[in-house]
Amino acid sequence: MTRRAAAAIALIALAGATLAGCAGPADPPPAPELADVTVHDPSVVTSDDRVWIFGSHGASAHSSDLIAWTQHTVDLHADPDNALFGDVYAELAETFEWAQTDTLWAADVIELPDGRYAMYYNACKGDSPRSALGLAIADTVDGPYVDQGILLRSGMWDQESENPGEMYDATVHPNAVDPDAFYDADGAMWMVYGSYSGGIFILEMNPATGLPLEGQGYGTHLLGGNHARIEGPTVQYAPETGYYYLYVSFGGLDASGGYEVRVFRSEHPGGPYVDAQGNPAADVAGAPGTVFDDASIEPYGVKILGGYEWADAPAVGVEAGYVSPGHNSWYRAPETGATSLVFHSRFPGTGEMHQVRVHRTYLTVDGWPVVSPGRYAGEASETASPDDLAGTWQAITFDRVISPLTPMSAPLALEPDGNVSGVLDGTWTLEDGGHVTIETSEATFTGVAMRAWNPTADAWTWGISVLTADGTPVWARKDVDPS
């Protein structure tokens, strides 16, 4: 059995692994030597000691440490002899013809049990859900991939859909894009997919072939519909809680789209999924008769990542904050069980330029993921002390509105006596495992404290990531002592 498949089955053995760290205070690691790449909609797969990401337009990259990345391929138009396919336009001619486009969307790669790599490629017309999702196989992760054919089509107006006897209806049937294949705790294989249109769907897969099991049509609907702006699904199993976490991106992906990441969870990979308030994901959709009705979906899901700006950073650029971050995948370190969110983001004042970002994730005492406020820079698992956290901070208070307007951080003070002042007013406590609770008159915030890298100060500091009971986050980064 391959390392990838074995790791998926063995995840349950990691139950009880440290959430915020098992070690006490220690010297921070050295400053990171960062190297960035451009891969829109990155999906993660491992091969030997490297983590690979594959995304839209034929882009791919790899890293051995999640810090320094190397670009493998960039764009089909810039590189028509793309190393992933060779002559991609000849190889996938049927896909491009059906989707009426000359580019690919968010590809996903997974290692099959026999050691081959399965790429789920997809193409979409863009101004409609006329899409094709297919499978290609390679012996090595870097290609070349050989087409196995189209698995699903969408956008067949006035024709029968992939569900026998049902005419295609974009308000209830999926757009066949944004695939994510994964193994569950027992080694069974699944694929979740979908963007806008009829929502997010899931299929049971045959790991021996990489094909869907027969007779499923489009599969099972998980959430979305009526063209609600929900896309980019990925599912992660957490042995610490026994839950499957369904991450999706709400909003639009461009700099003015308000892209953000929200999560639902289930005890079964095929659902049903719910949010922190117990709302069924299957009921989350745009109001009937609407298109891109964000107001219908804003109350739902646990929000863990959105656009923001640091007041103590440059006003423009990659250190200033994030604009429309989303379409994430995830990575779990096989040796430690440490987990990370891998996604693309745009940045304040830089237009549509985007890069890949990686942030460590942790679990709250209530079993919901939170994201470190600092990009991953090599931090080890480490538990903070009360003395580490006492001091002045910059805090970002998110809301649940899907908007291109990004919150600016504001001053926060965690006093040694347990009081909180500034943008939040109340009390704070630090418990075993680095779990933090902030109590105010309006809400209770639970989450985790962790090491965090401050690129503006070029120094290590501490971070806090907490959630309200309804799933609204607050991030904070402790000020760096200028001395």
User: Do the beta carbons of residue 416 and residue 386 sit within 8 Å?
Assistant: yes
Beta carbons within 8 Å of 432's beta carbon, 6+ residues apart:
none
| Helix (H/G/I), strand (E/B), else coil: 16 | coil
* Beta strands 321-332; 308-309: pairing state: antiparallel
Alpha-carbon 465 to chain mean position: 16
Beta carbons within 8 Å of 50's beta carbon, 6+ residues apart:
62, 63, 64
150: its two tokens: 């189209």
Measure the CA–CA gap between 466 and 434, rounded to whole angstroms.
12
Distance between first and last Cα of the chain: 53
In angstroms, the Cα distances linking 371 to 31, 323, 380 are 21, 16, 15
Residue 186 annotated in active site: no
User: Do the beta carbons of residue 178 and residue 172 sit within 8 Å?
Assistant: no
Q: Which of 108, 162, 231, 260 is catalytic?
A: 231
Count of residues making up the chain: 483
- Centre a 10 Å sphere on the Cβ of residue 291 and count the other Cβ atoms it contains: 12
Element (H, E) at 9: helix 3-10
198: its two tokens: 């009829």
CB burial of residue 19 (10 Å; 0-12, 13-18, 19+) = buried
Residue 41 annotated in active site: yes
CA nearest 425: which of 446, 445, 401, 448?
445
User: Do the beta carbons of residue 398 and residue 473 sit within 8 Å?
Assistant: yes
* Beta strands 410-414; 308-309: pairing state: unpaired
Measure the CA–CA gap between 361 and 473, rounded to whole angstroms.
13
CA nearest 350: which of 381, 313, 383, 319?
319
Beta carbons within 8 Å of 347's beta carbon, 6+ residues apart:
316, 317, 318, 320, 321, 322, 323, 353, 355
DSSP string of 153-186? EE--TTSB-SSTT-B--TTTSPPS---EEEE-TT
Q: Which amino acid is at 304?
A: I
Count Cα neighbours of 363 within 13 Å in the Cβ-side half-sphere: 22
Q: Tell me which residues are annotated as active site.
A: 41, 231
